[in-house]
Amino acid sequence: MGPETLSLEWQTLQNQFDSYEKYSLIIKLVAVLLTAIALLTQLPVLFAIALIGVLWLQDGIWKTFQGRFEQRLLQIEAEIRESGTPTDCQFNSAYQAQANSGGALIAEYIKQSLRPTVMYPYVVLEALVVAAAVYQSFY
């Protein structure tokens, strides 16, 4: 298969990669909304922190899935550059060859969750909930 096929695969995967970014933003916005609701309704602090934590980890899982697209996109780009032995349309095979399971998969999710672009809103939201709880305890 030639560079045209690689280019088509790259375009398809790049669209999916970008779509994952949009949904990651939606998860973050839901976290902000639920934090506002938790603060307005004075939900217990531990419940609010747990809720934000679940969304944070979900975002990390989402970013892990997106990262798999990234790996294949990088392979395709290298193939297009080299124009040597093509590896067209091997996204699932490439993933299957590298698939983690059990503890390694959980470690990958945590690693993605600790990336600054994933972590940013959740740390702020957690701090906001704790600050609100401290404020409420004084008044």
Say which residue the tokens 């892990």 belong to.
64
**Res. 84 pLDDT band, cuts 50 70 90:** low
Quote the number of domains for the chain: 1
Q: Interhelix angle for 3-40 vs 116-138, to 10°?
A: 0
d(CA 89, CA 7): 10
d(CA 27, CA 16): 17
Which residue type occupies 116?
P
What would the mean pLDDT of 97-121 be, rounded to a whole number? 86
* Residues in the chain, overall count: 139
Please say whether the beta carbons of 5 and 88 come within 8 A.
yes
**Res. 100 pLDDT band, cuts 50 70 90:** confident
Question: Which residues span the domain enclosing 97?
Answer: 3-138
Average pLDDT, the chain: 87
pLDDT confidence of residue 13: 92
d(CA 113, CA 52): 12
What would the mean pLDDT of 45-66 be, rounded to a whole number? 94
Q: Which of 88, 73, 56 is nearest to 17 (CA)?
A: 73
Examine the pLDDT at 64 and tell me if it is beyond 80.
Answer: yes
Q: Which of 46, 58, 63 is nearest to 126 (CA)?
A: 46
pLDDT confidence of residue 6: 86
What would the mean pLDDT of 94-123 be, rounded to a whole number? 84
**Res. 96 pLDDT band, cuts 50 70 90:** low
Per DSSP, helices labelled H in the chain are 3-40, 45-82, 91-98, 103-113, 116-138
Examine the pLDDT at 105 and tell me if it is beyond 90.
Answer: no
